[in-house]
Chain A
Amino acid sequence: MIKIDHLTKRYNDTLAIDDLDFEVKPGVVTGFLGPNGSGKSTTMRIILGLDHPSKGRATINGKNYADIKDPLREVGALLDAKAVHPGRTARNHLKALAVSNQIKTSRVDEVLEFTGISSVANKRVGGFSLGMSQRLGIAGALLGDPGVLLFDEPVNGLDPEGIRWIREFFRSLAGEGRTVFVSSHLMSEMAVSADQIIVIGRGKFITQGSVDDLTKTAQGTVLVRSSQPDQLRDALLAKLAQVRVGNDGIFTVSGLTSDEVGEVAFASGITLFELTPQRASLEEVFMDLTADSLEYAHHDRDAAHE
């Protein structure tokens, strides 16, 4: 289990992480979701003892990372797949890691085999594609057969087959009772690969829950098409709904349920041709949740439209 306890990290005058507080439990895949620059990698670096927190602490199974003896046997991590000396072969890289944590070197061939890079084991890592480097990083994380695993943006650079492989792999790790903590800036990826999701934005905790929980709490919208669009719009606006007018007079209404939209239309004597409730996609939920916390606001794009 990973416990993040009121963690704050300040770099000079930027607040990279602002009082984060959550737990990552074993047995499920926990997604760590946030836009780029929201503090996911910083959090992971602090968990691994690489960066020092300004306040609070991160513990693994109740211990500071630095206090774990032979940590690769307890925690496996893939932070940056390219963070390997380019002149060293994959096998030697893994061998050095294994020896440092008193892991038997026969394990090196096992993880090379498992991640499907045995054929390039004796090649220099510098020539590896990003996908191969990701597999090598995963091999390194698995070396000590750890109960806690951290992956920072693991699907980056993987081909579709590799992505499917890694999703199944996360599930099976969690199925064995391990703690699996996976970061991503892609909601769609988290939706299919994670059971639990923790959302952060600009270093702040936003929400946490299962994929279902998150979509349930989000506001759905209603698609409406009618014979008198102008009157309908005025009637809806009078009920404090937000109306977005699309092509062919189709409105996307938010703030009211489909039942309420129907009532409004009936009360105003407007004929409806179409009334479709739409459940928010996880992607929309995410955009909604993190809209305020995006590092770069969208006004540049809007300005270009004007």
Chain B
Amino acid sequence: MSSNNTLMSTVKSEWIKFRTVRASILGVAITFVLTIGIGALITATVRSHYHEMDPLRRITFDPVSTSLGGTLFAQFAVGVIGVLFITSEYSSGSIRTSLAAVPNRTRLALSKLVVLVVSMFVVSEIAVFITFQMGQSIFSGVVPTASLATGSVLRSVLLAGVYLTLLAVLGYALGLILRQSAACISVFTSILLIVPIVLFLLPQSWQTSYAKYEPSALGQAMMSPTPAANSFGAGTASVILLVYVIVVLGVGMTLLQRRDA
């Protein structure tokens, strides 16, 4: 039997583990509710107040990223899914059972990664495409709408799903490093919420040069068909976020390799 075969069986095993706990199922449900529900709330509110909006803001109004605003809430749900996928193994002690079954730690970590990336990508893309279409139909008639037929719009919606998937992986990577659910969730939340606040307290010139590197700002850039002021283009933003995630994941996998289970 080839090593591919063994990797495949570990992936299958991790898939069974992923879908047979409540946290994953509940997390996915919350991801849908937040993305779609808050998307509906935002788009409906914008529609009813659009006539009051000042003309300058109407010019820069982006129906795409606005309709996808729910992702800013759903990002916490996917992060927690990623965190718990590994920290629940440490809190229950089942990591030892897992490693006894699969002593190749890199293979175990990669198998979990494959399961997480594939499942969260599918979930996130379904959620963002539904949200986008729903948002545009809520806008239609009052607010300018966007169509998936436009290349940059399709890219933005696709990348919104990629953004959520990458944040799930970020949560997972933090989980490998910290091994404790509560600690991980606090750090994850801090990265997304506290870092922008700290940056806000810094001089204006620093804000304009550094705020665009925040994960949530990168997410905004990924979901915008045309780059906003002081922000990266969608492609650059995706690459930067991917680099963040790979670095944290690299640290996590190295620690998994070195530490006692």
Contacts and interface: CB of A to CB of B under 8 A. Distances in A.
A51 B258 CA distance: 9
B52 interface: no
B127 to A, nearest CB: 24
B9 A96 contact: no
B180 interface: no
Interface residues of A, number: 34
A82 B20 contact: no
Given A50-B260, A66-B103, A85-B89, A99 B96 contact: no
B119 to A, nearest CB: 15
Contact of A83 (B6, B13, B96, B104): B96
A80 B90 CA distance: 13
Given A65-B103, A87-B23, A50 B96 contact: yes
Interface stretch (A69-77, A244-252, A296-304): A69-77
A97 interface: yes
B20 A97 contact: no
B255 to A, nearest CB: 13
A289 to B, nearest CB: 29
Contact of A92 (B20, B94, B103): B20
Interface residues of B, number: 30
B94 A84 contact: yes
Contacts of B89: 85
Contact of A100 (B1, B9, B261): B9
B37 interface: no
Interface string A239-277: 000000000000000000000000000000000000000
A51 B96 CA distance: 10
Nearest to B92: A85
Q: Which of B14, B97, B103 has the most CB of A within 10 A?
A: B97
B47 interface: no
Contact of B16 (A71, A86, A87, A92): A92
B88 interface: yes
A268 to B, nearest CB: 62
Interface in B81-102: 88-89, 92-94, 96-97, 99-102
Contacts of B94: 83-85
Nearest to A105: B16
A89 interface: yes
A135 B216 CA distance: 47
B97 A140 contact: yes
A84 B9 CA distance: 20
A129 interface: no
A-B CB proximity, top 7 nearest: A83-B93, A100-B13, A51-B260, A92-B20, A50-B261, A66-B103, A96-B16
